[in-house]
Amino acid sequence: MKTKIALLILFISGSLFAQEQKMSAAEIAQFKEDVNVVAKKIKTLSTDFFQYKHLDFLSKDIETSGKMIFKEPALLQWQYKKPYNYSITFKNGKILINDEGKKSAVDIGNSKIFARINKLIVGSVSGNMFDDKEFTISYFKLKGQNLAKFIPKDATLKKYIKQIELTFDKEEATVVQVKLLESSEDYTRIVLKNKVINAKIDDSVFTN
Amino acid sequence: MQKSTIQFLLINCFLAIVLISCGSVTKNYTPKKLDKTSYTVPYFTDSKADYVYKTNISVYGNELSGIFIAKKINDTTHRVVFTTEFGNKLMDFEISETDFKVNSIVSELDRKILIHTLKEDFRLLLKKEYQIQEQFENESADIYKSADGKRDNYIFISKKDQKLEKIVHASKTKEKFTLLFNSENNIFAEKIQIIHQNIKLKIDLQQLKSE
């Protein structure tokens, strides 16, 4: 019995360690500083992404993947390659879409929300996302990673997105995962892999 | 006298045209002896399966694309969710033959007429069982007529391979909208089109194959 309890305690404390721990004020300041220093050096960024759409009632996440390209100050493109070809480009306040060759520059229903999420993602690589006018931000430590959670202050945005979580690699101080939680227990998780920083990217890439 | 004859002829011609164009939906079908009294749709019936489609909605010249997801959540009800490619949920419904619930919808799409139209479309798309009252045929299909309130549904089963290929929702005189199915195995429809005849609305669904 004693052993069982001991094991249980060990297990519980073990899982506590595995979970996220709140950062101290000093750690938050250091983390922000690290991200800002790296972000300032980033002129371009391209990365593979793997998107997992989780809906509570589905048996499996819906998986899509492709490439994301960013260029300073605010050119951003998501190219979905699997299982379909679809790209969405943010450029000069416009949204350009290429859907299996069908091109459009139409604002989709929730583009405002979309633009704000992307502003946040752009912000996370360009270093000006820790602006707490728009979000209530909390900071956590994980094993080898840092985690920042953003809760929208704006009621309209909050209706669609309950919380945004950005996971950073501790060493590189860049984003490795974006998680967008919707009002219910549904979320979109995007994992970024094979990052290339400051390769030459021509502006002409950012078109549909 | 001559004038009124011409008028009479004109009116007759007009009436004839009206009558022809208002002819029954079944005018091109040949009646046939009923070979079954009910039909069970093979699609969207597996409660273990996630039905996921890449979707294009074309409405009065506007294009909207995203992911259509349907899942049978109990014996009577399907959950239907439409998201953007990015994953943002645009609408979330629960539909059965008798009930309809909007779990969520973005304000930009929150229009009564749109919700009502989609409700009718999806309800027919997900309908499982049809009671058959009449039967017809054309060159390529057996056609089963099933009453649906004041309207009727016409179910087209291909003669070649016995697959459900089309359902037409119609009033007594006019086709309202059509569902077209393409299926390899007659269990899962890889491609579906919902085409409206009276409004400019077309929904294309293409199976999203997971790698």
Q: What is the pLDDT of residue A46?
A: 93
Check CB contact of A44 with chain B, cutoff 8 Å. Answer: no
Inform me whether the pLDDT recorded for B185 exceeds 80. Answer: yes
User: Would you call A110 and B48 a contact, using CB atoms and an 8 Å cutoff?
Assistant: no
Banded pLDDT at A128 (limits 50, 70, 90): low
- Chain A residue closest to B85 (CA)? A86
Please report which helix (H) or strand (E) contains residue A30, including its range.
Answer: helix A25-41
Banded pLDDT at A14 (limits 50, 70, 90): very low
CA atoms of A151 and A138, how far apart (whole Å): 9
Contacts of A202 (CB under 8 A, 6+ apart): none
Inform me whether the pLDDT recorded for A110 exceeds 70. Answer: no
Question: Tell me: the pLDDT tens digits for A183-201?
Answer: 668 999 999 999 999 999 9
What Rg value do the Cα atoms of chain A yield, rounded? Answer: 19
- Phi then psi for residue A128, to 5 deg, are -115, 40
Q: What is the pLDDT of residue B77?
A: 97
Q: What is the pLDDT of residue B130?
A: 97
* CATH code, A164: 2.50.20.10
Structural domain contains residue A84: no
- Facing B106 at nearest CB: one of A57, A62, A109: A109
Please report which helix (H) or strand (E) contains residue A126, including its range.
Answer: helix A111-126
Q: What is the pLDDT of residue A124?
A: 64
Residue numbers of the domain that contains A33? 20-64+112-205
Structural domain contains residue A138: yes
Q: Using a CB-CB distance cutoff of 8 angstroms, which residues of chain B are in contact with residue A114?
A: 84, 86, 88
**Which among B138, B144, B183 has a CA at the least distance from the CA of B167?**
B144
So where are chain B's domains? 25-207
Q: What is the pLDDT of residue A130?
A: 79
Distance from CA of B179 to the nearest CA of A (A): 23
The burial of B192, by beta-carbon neighbours within 10 Å (0-12 exposed, 13-18 middle, 19 or more buried), is given as: buried
Structural domain contains residue A150: yes
Banded pLDDT at B107 (limits 50, 70, 90): confident
Say whether the ipTM exceeds 0.85.
Answer: no
What b/e string do you get for A29-45 counting C-beta neighbours within 10 Å, with b at 16 or more? Answer: eebbebbeebbeebebb
Structural domain contains residue A7: no
Return the percentage of chain A with pLDDT > 90, whole number: 46
Inform me whether the pLDDT recorded for B149 exceeds 70. Answer: yes
Q: What is the pLDDT of residue A77?
A: 92
User: Would you call B89 and A83 a contact, using CB atoms and an 8 Å cutoff?
Assistant: no
CA atoms of B130 and A34, how far apart (whole Å): 64
The residues with which B205 forms a beta bridge, in sequence order, are: B55, B192
CA atoms of B123 and B127, how far apart (whole Å): 6
User: Would you call B86 and A106 a contact, using CB atoms and an 8 Å cutoff?
Assistant: no
What count of residues does chain A have? 208
- What average pLDDT does range B83-104 have in this prediction? 92
**Position A157, amino acid:** L
Q: Contact B153/B124 with Cβ under 8 angstroms?
A: yes
For tokens 């360690």, name the residue.
A17
Instruction: Calculate the average pLDDT of chain B.
Output: 89
Q: What is the pTM of this model?
A: 0.84
Going by the DSSP 8-state scheme, the letter that residue B107 receives in this structure is G
What Rg value do the Cα atoms of chain B yield, rounded? Answer: 20
Banded pLDDT at A120 (limits 50, 70, 90): low
Q: Contact A206/A77 with Cβ under 8 angstroms?
A: yes
Structural domain contains residue A74: no
Structural domain contains residue A117: yes
CA atoms of B113 and B111, how far apart (whole Å): 6
Inform me whether the pLDDT recorded for A144 exceeds 80. Answer: yes
Inform me whether the pLDDT recorded for A153 exceeds 60. Answer: yes
Q: What is the pLDDT of residue A3?
A: 61
Distance from CA of B203 to the nearest CA of A (A): 15
Contacts of B120 (CB under 8 A, 6+ apart): B169, B177
User: Would you call B65 and A99 a contact, using CB atoms and an 8 Å cutoff?
Assistant: yes
The residues with which B171 forms a beta bridge, in sequence order, are: none
Q: Using a CB-CB distance cutoff of 8 angstroms, which residues of chain B are in contact with residue A106?
A: 62-63
Q: How many structural domains comprise chain A?
A: 1
User: Would you call B69 and A59 a contact, using CB atoms and an 8 Å cutoff?
Assistant: no
Question: Tell me: the pLDDT tens digits for B12-71?
Answer: 655 554 444 456 788 889 999 999 999 999 999 999 999 999 999 998 888 888 999 999
- What average pLDDT does range A66-89 have in this prediction? 91
Q: What is the pLDDT of residue B117?
A: 95
Check CB contact of A50 with chain B, cutoff 8 Å. Answer: no
Check CB contact of B62 with chain A, cutoff 8 Å. Answer: yes
Kindly report the CATH number that applies to the domain delimited by B25-207: 2.50.20
Q: How many CB pairs under 8 A join A and B?
A: 81
Contacts of B106 (CB under 8 A, 6+ apart): A109, A110, A160, B88, B89, B90, B91
Banded pLDDT at B160 (limits 50, 70, 90): very high
Structural domain contains residue A197: yes
Residue with more model confidence, B103 or A113 = B103
- What average pLDDT does range A154-180 have in this prediction? 87
Distance from CA of A63 to the nearest CA of B (A): 7
